[in-house]
Every structure is written in structure tokens, then in C-alpha cells.
Amino acid sequence: MAKSNSKKRPAPESNTAFPKKENKSMVPAKDNHSKIKPTKDADMDVMELDPSDGLIKLFTDGIKDLYWAENHLIKALPKMAKATSLKKLQQAILDHLDQTKKHVERLEQVFEILGRDPQACKCDAMEGLTKEGEGVIETTDMDTPARDLGIIMASQKVEHYEMAAYMGLIELSDSLGYEEISAILNETLTEEEDSDALLADIAASEILQKQD
């Protein structure tokens, strides 16, 4: 009976979709994409990250998706702000609009580090989420708790989508050794989380408590 191949590629240690983090110092630069290949230690239980695995393409596609999503939000957020008469909520949305413009700039920085021109790839999820927000505005009246809470709930769905997208890309970025990019994406993730928390606070203090 033939012996099994002892050089078989080891399986990842955990059941995470992301391989163990290695080679944190490796930062992509212009024109060196094909050279990004962390060294493999045969004694370590790690997956080899090779551009041919498609992970760099997966990462770049995710950045293009977010670039479309963030640009789309720059158009959608002013409509949400205009649709509420609750000053705290309106201000929170407008402040987050300013942050969203920075999110776009940060993604442009990421493209630059990757040595690529910024490119947007339509994000169907974000289009759907903003349509839900428009639906809330169409089916509720101005100056009502239902309108304001509906806007908050729709906005939180947007933030949760962004948080999930950034978290996944940060994990992947870490695994690819894109330290500088991870730091940039983390700045935006923090702002998405803060925005989500602020929306929840406004719902609790300005709307739900007043219904008791």
C-alpha cells in the first residue's frame, strides 16, 4: 500500500476563514504585487499566502466594493439628514457624512499603497440598504417617532454592513502582511463603530425612553 504524502499542505489551525497572521512587515508597493509571497516555514502550521491563491484579488475586490459603497453613502446621507426633524439625529448623520468623505479618501490611500488607480465596483448590498432607508422615508411622516426610529434602524444596518466589511478586510490585510493598510482601515472601522453606538444612544434617549 502506498504511503500517504507526508508533504501535504497543513490545514489551518482554526476554523477561521483567514489563515494565521505572518510576515506583518511585508507592505505592498507599486509594481511588486506578483512578488508578495510570505516565506513559508515548513515546521509551522500556516497556510502559504500566494497571489495565485486569489487572496490579493479578493482583498482588492473588497476595497473596490467599499469604495463604491462609501461614495454611494455620500449621496444617500444628506437625504436621510433632511428627512428627520430630530436635531441630534440630523447632526449625527451630517457628522458621519463628513467622516464618510474621509473614508473615501482613506480607501484612495489604500489603492495608492496597492499601486492601483481607485476603482469602484458596484456594491449591491449597499444599494439595497440605502433603498430600505428611502422606503422608510416614503412610508412614514415627518416629525414622528416612527420616521426618526426608522431612519436610525436603517442607518444602523448600513453601519453594521460597513463594520462587517471592514473587519473582514482588516483580517485579510493582516494575513497578507499589509500592516499600513490595516492601520488605515482600522481608523475607519472605529468611526463606523462610534457612529453605530451614537445612533443607538439617540434611539434610546430621544425616542424609545419618551414612549414609556
What is the binding site for Fe ion (CB under 5 A)?
A: 70, 100, 103, 162, 192
Q: Which is nearer to Fe ion, 59 or 166 (CB)?
A: 166
Collapsing DSSP to helix, strand or coil, 4 comes out as coil
Q: How far is CA 183 from CA 2, 110, 118, 186, 187, in A?
A: 49, 10, 19, 5, 6
CB of 6 to Fe ion, least distance (A): 48
Q: Helices marked H in the chain — which ranges?
A: 55-82, 87-114, 124-139, 145-176, 179-202
CB of 21 to Fe ion, least distance (A): 25
Nearest to 29 by CA among 199, 141, 143, 181: 181
Q: Which is nearer to Fe ion, 49 or 92 (CB)?
A: 92
Q: Which is nearer to Fe ion, 55 or 126 (CB)?
A: 126
C-alpha cell belonging to residue 193: 463603530
CB of 56 to Fe ion, least distance (A): 23
Intra-chain end-to-end CA distance of the chain, in Å: 75
- Using left for φ > 0, alpha for ψ between -120 and 50, and beta otherwise, residue 16 falls in beta
CB of 70 to Fe ion, least distance (A): 5
Under a CB-based contact definition with an 8 Å cutoff, are residues 154 and 131 in contact? no
C-alpha cell belonging to residue 17: 476563514
Q: Which is nearer to Fe ion, 71 or 100 (CB)?
A: 100
Q: Which is nearer to Fe ion, 60 or 100 (CB)?
A: 100
CB of 103 to Fe ion, least distance (A): 4
